[in-house]
Amino acid sequence: MIDDKEHVEQHVELHLEEEREATMHRGSWDEYFMRIAVEVASRATCDRKHVGAVIVRDKSILATGYNGSIRGLGHCNEQGHLMEDGHCVRTIHAEANAIIQAARNGVRIDGATVYVTASPCWGCFKMIANAGIQRIVFGEFYRDERIFRFATELGIELAPLTPSPAPPAP
């Protein structure tokens, strides 16, 4: 044994101090996952709107998605938007792509939380609900007010969260 008792106690005390410091600076888990969703959104390929989604359960990321074209087809930034009723419909939305990624990989997302940088559109909301996702944390509000009423009715928590800027690197 190299460490005597006093040395060990000092070490533990120092460790606890570091732990407290880290907790103060790193913010909540919700903010952490929302910042990751913001990062995921940067991969989006329709510049009309960049959206990112992260599906999480028990503090583990199960799947991620951003809005982009059908796999193997050209992107908006290469081929232009595919407009319909004032919206670009070339892309599959971020939340849908995250759910699809989970399906492709055989990952169970029942009971999970989805972090999404913009609130789900009606189509994505329906998919999220039937995927068994229990909690939606969204950044900005986007488009469809109906999700609030139906989320309440379904017992799905729908919580706004504006991501704070990432803490500066040490």
Which positions lie near Zn ion, rule CB under 5 A?
46, 76, 81, 88, 90, 93, 121, 124
Nearer to Zn ion (CB atom), residue 7 or residue 48:
48
* Shortest spacing between CB 150 and Zn ion, in angstroms: 14
Amino acid at 80: G
Helices 122-130 and 146-154, packing angle to 10 deg: 10
* Shortest spacing between CB 147 and Zn ion, in angstroms: 10
**Has 95 been annotated as catalytic?**
yes
* Shortest spacing between CB 83 and Zn ion, in angstroms: 8
Nearer to Zn ion (CB atom), residue 34 or residue 118:
118
Choice among 19, 39, 84, 95 that is catalytic = 95
CA–centroid distance for 104 within its chain: 18
Amino acid at 2: I
Nearer to Zn ion (CB atom), residue 32 or residue 43:
43
- E strands, the chain, in order: 52-57, 60-66, 83-84, 87-88, 113-118, 135-140, 157-160
Neighbours of 2 (CB within 10 A): 4
Q: Which positions are annotated as active-site residues? A: 95
